[in-house]
Amino acid sequence: MSAREHWRPKRGEIPTEPGVYRFTDAAGRVLYVGKAKNLRSRLSNYFQPLHSLHERTRRMVTTAQGVEWTVVGSELEALSLEYTWIKEFAPPFNVKFRDDKTYPYVAITLAERVPRVMVTRTRGIPGARYFGPYTKVWAVRETVDLMLKAFPMRSCSDTTYKRAQATNRPCLLGDIGKCAAPCVGRVTPEQHRGIALDFASFMAGNDEGYVRGLKTAMAEAARELDYEGAARIRDQIGALETALAKSAVVLDDRTDADVFGIAYDELAAAVQLFIVRGGRIRGVRGWVVDTELDVTMAELVDTVLQNAYDGTAAPAREIIVPAVPEDAQALQTVLTERRRDAGERGAVVVKIAQRGEKAALAETVATNALGALVQYKTRRSGDFTARSQALADIQEALGLAEAPLRLECFDVSHFGGSNPVASMVVFEDGLPRKDQYRKFAIADARDDTDAVYQVLRRRLAYLHDEAAAPSALIDPESGQPAAARKSFHYRPGLLVIDGGQPQVAAAARALRDEGLDDIAVCGIAKRLEEVWLPDSDYPVILPRSSDALFLLQRLRDEAHRFALRYQRTTRSRDIRSRLSSIPGLGPTRTTELLKHFGSVARLRAASIDELTAVDGIGPATARLVHRALRDDG
């Protein structure tokens, strides 16, 4: 009987209605919260044979000691309850948000008798209208300072305002025209509220219309010979146009949209949000999500949208995403309610931009998200404390005698079984040592395991050269043989194979045949991120958010990249040799062919007509090239 059988509910006990479920451990801690249109159908997926489950799902259900559910009336209610429970219990297997900085907002406190505009990171001020968030507080302050020339409303603190009332003397902003000075009665509270409402309307996107109105008023003042009033309006227009110039016009001036871009890999996702109001980018926000269970892009979008508007920020009427979630209808209803709660009108629509300017902007946001993900991973890998912890965690998880300060990772690459090559990349103290990378050409191999065995035997032979080196060649500082150190530095603390159990078994056999029993070996399988040890029926599972798994993944990906690049170079050399044997096709025309098609794969797939289109290639030569490449493939 499996560990799940004593707490697994009978299938007939699980309702078929929509609802929300939560898995708990022996201490009652909530491990995972999910929603379903049909609870029975969804929960049955978790009780399939363990080997058929995704590894992270398997780890969750084997940790769990119970499951509970709550039936609700609709998908909308399920969405709301799931969100509430995730916020309340912070389950470790749900998507986690990291690096969610407190971004600055522009807030207008309309609930006060004399409203105030301020730049703040505090959310939830009663009755306040919020605009943003923005990424740089100095840029927001500069914009507000410009706006006060056009909308001279109060921006001082309560203490400053009361002091001005008591002394009947305005502050400096009142003297220079950046405040209408309601504190000393230059305008009434009602007039000041009108200024504040105009400020809020402008910030909400009614900018071009407001500027057009001011230009009309300036012209009218000039016609009536009110030149002082016209000059004052002119200065307001100049201030507003300067503020608008700081926001890029990207879409039609009637467009209000939130554009999301998401880039993710097996461990993390970077989210970028461009806030577009009145066709202009009014703010940019970014954060990183740690993914625990395996999630699709649509599922990530679902979670991101629920969390992006959990404060005072109102969703735009149009939300552009890279994938539409399954429960988009319910999600749109929830977001529409949050929009109304923030004082905005109009229903929310979640959609994918298919073409045109919106699609181009969405692509830009996605590019920013990819850059943010790369930056996040680079910063994480560059952190000394994180690297040290990663090596210590690898030591503990694999049962090593000491932390593996030198990691060597091997990957085999081939093209449809031909041109097999391999790579070795080296990380020392958690950082790549590119001068220590090595490439291996493989003359003949039955399969990947045979290739791994051959490459490991060739690499490990250098360790015997170290032992046999004469003392005269020993480096007095390091104690290492000088010649061997130049080639392969020192003995690895851990050999990592890009692959699963069969590849690890081949590497272990190579170590045995070389008589080496003091070097550890493991493999990391890409699909499930499992770490395999020799002679083990079950993999080692490292936490998805751990620095240890992050380091092994980065090591494996670097080995794969290096092997693939070498394999492509080998193919290019091979095809040049093949083409050089064709009469009338010299090095210049061969280079022209490769340059025209851009890659060996495209050249192989080209038709005779496509080959003839290349300068210098006639029909007869094109037929010979076409036949040669087909025979070669």
| CATH level 3 topology of 581-632 | DNA polymerase; domain 1 (1.10.150)
Residue pair 410/562 in contact (Cβ under 8 Å)? The answer is no
Beta strand 530-532 with 520-525 is antiparallel
Which residue, chain included where needed, has tokens 């030198």? Answer: 406
Asked whether the predicted pLDDT for residue 471 surpasses 60, the reply is no
pLDDT computed for residue 481 by the predictor: 47
How many CB atoms are located within 10 Å of the residue 583 CB? 8
Q: Which residues pair with 34 in a beta bridge?
A: 21
d(CA 625, CA 632): 10
How many CB atoms are located within 10 Å of the residue 83 CB? 18
Residue pair 617/609 in contact (Cβ under 8 Å)? The answer is no
pLDDT computed for residue 508 by the predictor: 92
DSSP code per residue over 171-209: -HHHHTTSS--GGGTSS-HHHHHHHHHHHHHHHTT-HHH
| SS3 of residue 570 by DSSP | helix
Rg of the chain, C-alpha, whole Å: 33
Asked whether the predicted pLDDT for residue 338 surpasses 70, the reply is yes
pLDDT computed for residue 323 by the predictor: 92
d(CA 491, CA 496): 13
Reported as a single tens digit per residue, the pLDDT across 523-537 is 988 766 788 898 888
Q: Reply yes or no on domain 385-563 having CATH 1.10.490.10.
A: no
With 0-12 / 13-18 / 19 or more C-beta atoms within 10 angstroms meaning exposed / middle / buried, residue 443 is: exposed
Mean pLDDT, rounded, for 584-594? 71
Average pLDDT, the chain: 78
Reported as a single tens digit per residue, the pLDDT across 590-616 is 777 767 776 656 776 778 877 787 777
Instruction: Give the DSSP letter of residue 537.
Output: S
d(CA 221, CA 229): 6
d(CA 240, CA 211): 7
Distance of CA 223 to the CA centre of its chain: 57
**Domain 11-94: CATH class, spelled out:** alpha beta
Reported as a single tens digit per residue, the pLDDT across 227-278 is 777 777 777 666 665 555 444 445 666 778 899 999 887 667 888 888 888 7
Let me know how many helices (H) and strands (E) the chain has, helices first: 21, 19
Q: CATH 3.40.1440.10 occupies which residues in the chain?
A: 11-94
pLDDT computed for residue 450 by the predictor: 87
Residue pair 195/170 in contact (Cβ under 8 Å)? The answer is no
d(CA 587, CA 576): 8
| 500 compared with 618, residue with greater pLDDT | 500
pLDDT computed for residue 322 by the predictor: 94
* Torsional sign, CA 377, 378, 379, 382: positive
How many CB atoms are located within 10 Å of the residue 492 CB? 24
Q: Residues of 107-128 as b/e, b for ≥16 C-beta within 10 angstroms?
A: bbbbebebbbbbbbeebebeeb
pLDDT computed for residue 249 by the predictor: 44
Reported as a single tens digit per residue, the pLDDT across 55-87 is 778 888 888 888 888 777 766 667 767 777 787
Q: CATH 1.10.150.20 occupies which residues in the chain?
A: 581-632
| CATH level 3 topology of 257-379 | Nucleotidyltransferase; domain 5 (3.30.420)
- The confidence band for 462, taking pLDDT boundaries of 50, 70 and 90, is confident
d(CA 132, CA 104): 7
pLDDT computed for residue 372 by the predictor: 77
Of the candidates 256, 520, 295, 292, the residue with the CA atom closest to the CA atom of residue 399: 520
Q: CATH 3.30.420.340 occupies which residues in the chain?
A: 385-563
